[in-house]
Amino acid sequence: MRRVWIGAAVAAAFVVAGCSPSTGGEQAMETGTDEVVVVSYDSMDFPEETIAKFEEETGYKLTISQLGSGGELVNQLVLSKDQPLGDVAFGVDNISVYRAVSEGVFADEAPEVPAWAAQQQIEGTSLIPFDQGDVCVNVDHKWFTDNNLEEPVTLDDLADPKYKDLLVALNPASSSPGMAFFTATIGAYGEDWPTYWEKLRDNGVKVTKGWSDAFGVDYSAGEGEGPRPMMVSYASSPAWSANEELTESRTGALLDTCFHQVEYMGVLNGAKNVEGAKAFIEFMLDVPQQELISEANYMHPINPEAKAPEALVKFGQMSDNPHQVDAKTIAENQQEWLRAWSDLMGQ
């Protein structure tokens, strides 16, 4: 899923940390089980100190089960809903979450949360947000300076002939950020989105299977130093191309092209340890955990008192006005949209 661009995905398919004795063990004893199983996607990085602190404070043993990409996580949650793979899901985003909700994956159980978390809850669900970020078109400032060409600003600009053959996008059927950007165009143009994508197609947009292909081959500021100075990526990506002094970055995000992603956690229907799952959710909203997850995964915290890394604050700002589509509408129309997009783009 996202953050593969950091340089390496999390290698462990399973992370299991031993339980530390503490007075919190009474909480575990009351539930009849001392283990909490968290199901997530495999590029979600859980800092070891977060796992150890949860175990010390609650007395539960924490097991992290990682199940592929974000899309694969949702598929597995749906397929296993009658025999859930854990107690709590961690990392289902607002593009794919409603499918899991409509399939009855999540229980109604949830801890009470502060107003700042409730603001980004999905109506009618028990899911709790834990981090957020944007998917936007990124630009290579150096390329545009070297070629004496002004940078685009808006989605409309990307279809301007002066930017012909300069953009690489990601297939929304196979890429999470690709789907996010595609959804942004639907949010911006409504039912007229096919006309917009026709303009991008005619203006030479290249579509790759996923983020790594674009960054490794096509993007001028990527590993392959390719020919295209614009790429669909994350608003946080420019933080990784900043200099050591954090005074400037080679790349930037076009904040008028963004889709706002929120990642959620929720108690699974049929969970063996509901109280442990709720304890984990509450724990992950606390400032220390919010800051560690932000640093490890380069997403912005939900808790307004938590601080993101300095580079992210300076060069990975989120859009004030992202293009949005609500989760239910996405779930109801996604397959039809993707079929129409594939026919239009010849993918």
Q: What's the pLDDT at 297?
A: 87
**Residue 66: beta bridge partners?**
40
Burial of 272 (0-12, 13-18, 19+ CB in 10 A): middle
Q: What's the pLDDT at 224?
A: 87
Q: What's the pLDDT at 3?
A: 44
Q: What's the pLDDT at 28?
A: 47
* Two structure tokens written together for 206: 């290249």
Angle at 36 between CA 34 and CA 42, to 5 degrees: 150
Q: What's the pLDDT at 273?
A: 96
Rounded CA-CA distance 75/69 in Å is 10
Q: 203: closest CA among 237, 169, 252?
A: 169
Q: What's the pLDDT at 251?
A: 98
Rounded CA-CA distance 132/42 in Å is 18
Rounded CA-CA distance 285/76 in Å is 25
Q: What's the pLDDT at 317?
A: 94
Q: Is the dihedral of CA 86, 88, 93, 94 positive or negative?
A: positive
Task: Give the predicted TM-score (pTM) of the model.
Answer: 0.84
Q: What's the pLDDT at 208?
A: 96
Q: What's the pLDDT at 158?
A: 98
Q: What's the pLDDT at 32?
A: 54
Q: What's the pLDDT at 327?
A: 87
- Classify 142 as helix, strand or coil: helix
* Two structure tokens written together for 279: 């304890």
**Residue 1: beta bridge partners?**
none
Alpha-carbon Rg for the chain, nearest whole angstrom, is 21
Rounded CA-CA distance 207/347 in Å is 9
Q: Is the dihedral of CA 280, 282, 288, 292 positive or negative?
A: positive
Show the low-confidence residues of the chain (pLDDT under 70): 1-32
Angle at 308 between CA 306 and CA 309, to 5 degrees: 140
Q: What's the pLDDT at 24?
A: 43
CB 137 within 8 A of CB 230: yes
Q: What's the pLDDT at 10?
A: 32
Q: What's the pLDDT at 72?
A: 79
Give long-range contacts, CB 8 A cutoff, 24+ apart: 99-103.
99/74, 99/331, 99/334, 100/74, 101/125, 101/127, 101/327, 102/331, 103/78
